[in-house]
Amino acid sequence: MTDQEPVAGRDRSARDRDAAHAAQRRGARTAERARAGRNDKLRKLAFGGIVVAVLAVGSYLAFGDFLRRPADAAASGVIDVQSSMAGFTPSEIDVTAGQTVTLKWWTQDAAMHLKNGVHTMVSPDLGLSESLPAESTRIVTWTVPDKAGTYDVWCETCCGGKDAPQMHGKIVVKPASASVGAPVG
């Protein structure tokens, strides 16, 4: 039915009524679609909100722990060190002269890749000569000598040992009296 063509045998008011009803129905359908659209939009917003919340909680759990670690290490005095084919991780450790530190030293490497089946941690100047069996964790308690400075430490049982640059790390010994931000000397 179109409103433009006159319909034979029907009076104008009936036609107008039909047209009005049709328009009303169209209007109702449009409103219905608009409502459905809004609901859909709300659902998407809610879903988006949930996704954001889950990601926020997830990254807090993942990185919050990571971010807290330095403070915890400082509080507990435990320094986490990994040995791998890439050398020491971290490659630099900061300690204080005269302090007794605890190293949680670990590796995931298999014995077949290591000379004598161990990684080593060697720094003659600092009295360090330790070895770590393959695929293990060792707690090393070490009293830092009272001599501030920056020292070389290396592994001599893998990947070229002392001759390989990546097998070297750095141990920075800060003077016992050093306050935060003071130059290392």
Which one of 21-29, 97-105, 152-160, 170-178 is the stretch in contact with Cu ion (CB under 5 A)? 152-160
Nearest residue (CB) to Cu ion, 119 versus 168: 119
Contact indicator for 159, 167 with CB cutoff of 8 Å: yes
CA 86, 90, 91: angle at the middle one, nearest 5? 65
Q: Which residues of 148-184 are buried (b: 16+ CB within 10 A; e: fewer)?
A: beebebbbbbbbeeeeeeebbbebebbbeeeeeeeee
# chain residues binding Cu ion, by CB under 5 A = 3
Q: CB 83 → Cu ion: shortest distance, Å?
A: 5
Among 79, 132, 155, 171, binds Cu ion (CB under 5 A): 155
Q: Nearest distance from residue 43's CB to Cu ion, in Å?
A: 55
Place of tokens 């020292």: 151
Distance CA 168, CA 53 (A): 43
Min CB(181)–Cu ion separation in Å: 34
The tokens of 99 are what? 């302090």
Stretch that binds Cu ion, among 1-9, 16-24, 90-98, 156-164 (CB under 5 A): 156-164
> What span, in angstroms and rounded, lies between the C-alpha atoms of 18 and 7?
12
Footprint on residues 99-128 left by Cu ion (CB under 5 A): 119
User: With binding defined as CB under 5 A, does residue 81 bind Cu ion?
Assistant: no
Rounded (10°) CA dihedral 145, 146, 152, 155: 10
Interacting span for Cu ion (CB under 5 A) from 7-15, 60-68, 98-106, 155-163? 155-163
Residue ranges in 19-78 that form contacts with Cu ion under rule CB under 5 A:
none
Residues that bind Cu ion (CB under 5 A): 119, 155, 158
